[in-house]
């Protein structure tokens, strides 16, 4: 078995990887600018996720330039960074729902209080993140078929954990939405902030991340010689494009728009993250 066969079952596209790097770097700087402008330090995870994507595709571009003599370090980097980035996006999405619940004073309408919500879901996200990171580490150093399969199995478990927590998050969001719509709180009626729009945005972003995770699970179940890992365009269609769409959506509909203003108490930056996660 040649090194080329072990690393890629196709020739990576240099052009596609460079375009991906440019796209994710652009949205990363856009999110960084808005986070600084609106003093939203809790979006740091989202920005790091964008940078993870850019670094991952940068490493893939290096491999594509090396074809057919691929080196293992760029391959390991592109595998790990692209795999882990959506976990960072998910962490920020969990925090945004917490802000919406706080904005509408809707704790009584939520299955989980806003002070607990971020703690529960970010903890699950960290668990999934660490599992995928461990699996990626095993894959990067795999020298035998058994080690390769072990790494893939660990990643699959991490992805399944992420899907389960994300599925529960969507249920919590839907229940909160239904309850506060049928029985609004005074704060939800009084605010001029379009918080319901952001719930629909969260649903859409969650759906995209869920589709990507399911794709990844199927990809790893099929293995390195499977149909999905033998055709690069699937990765760009069901991972790259979906995750870039998530980053663009939150650039257009920036979470700063659901920050309480004019008469509302504002919890900024680390104060919000601390109160949500540690309460």
Q: Please write the tens of the pLDDT for every residue from 42-98.
A: 899 999 999 999 999 999 999 999 888 888 889 889 989 999 999 999 999 998 999
Quick one: pLDDT at residue 6? 56
Provide the token pair at 90. Answer: 């998910």
**Does residue 203 carry a pLDDT above 90?**
yes
**Does residue 263 carry a pLDDT above 60?**
no
User: Cα separation of 99 and 266, whole Å?
Assistant: 10
How many whole angstroms from its chain centre is CA 229? Answer: 21
Task: Name the least confident of 94-98, 128-132, 139-143.
Answer: 139-143
Does the CA dihedral 187-191-194-198 come out positive or negative? negative
Quick one: pLDDT at residue 3? 41
Burial 62-81 (b: 16+ CB within 10 A, else e): bbbeeeeebeeebbbbbbbb
> Of 171, 173, 172, 196, nearest to 184 (Cα)?
196
**Where do the domains of the chain lie, and which CATH numbers do they carry?**
14-182+193-263 (1.20.1070)
* Residue the block writes with tokens 């058994």: 146
> Of 14, 29, 34, nearest to 256 (Cα)?
34
For the whole model, what pTM was predicted? 0.86
**Does residue 109 carry a pLDDT above 70?**
yes
């Amino acid at each position: 078995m040649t090194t080329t066969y072990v690393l890629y079952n196709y020739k990576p596209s240099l052009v596609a990887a460079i375009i991906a790097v440019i796209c994710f770097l652009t949205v990363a700087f856009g999110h960084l600018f808005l986070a600084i402008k609106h003093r939203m330090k809790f979006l740091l995870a989202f920005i790091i996720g964008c940078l993870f994507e850019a670094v991952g595709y940068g490493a893939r571009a290096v491999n594509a330039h090396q074809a057919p003599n691929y080196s293992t370090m760029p391959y390991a980097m592109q595998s790990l960074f692209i795999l882990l980035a959506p976990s960072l996006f998910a962490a920020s999405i969990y925090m945004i729902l917490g802000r919406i619940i706080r904005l509408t004073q809707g704790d009584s309408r939520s299955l989980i209080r806003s002070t607990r919500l971020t703690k529960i879901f970010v903890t699950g996200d960290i668990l999934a993140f660490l599992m995928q990171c461990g699996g990626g580490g095993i894959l990067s150093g795999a020298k035998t078929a058994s080690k390769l399969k072990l790494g893939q199995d660990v990643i699959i478990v991490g992805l399944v954990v992420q899907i389960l927590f994300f599925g529960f998050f969507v249920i919590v969001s839907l229940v909160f939405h239904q309850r506060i719509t049928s029985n609004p709180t005074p704060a939800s009626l009084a605010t001029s902030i379009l918080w319901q729009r952001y719930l629909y945005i969260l649903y859409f972003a969650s759906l995209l991340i869920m589709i990507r995770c399911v794709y990844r699970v199927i990809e790893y179940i099929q293995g390195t010689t499977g149909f999905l890992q033998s055709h690069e365009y699937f990765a760009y269609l069901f991972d790259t494009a979906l995750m870039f769409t998530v980053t663009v959506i939150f650039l257009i509909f920036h979470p700063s728009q659901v920050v309480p203003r004019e008469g509302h108490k504002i919890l900024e930056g680390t104060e919000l993250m601390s109160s949500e996660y540690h309460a």
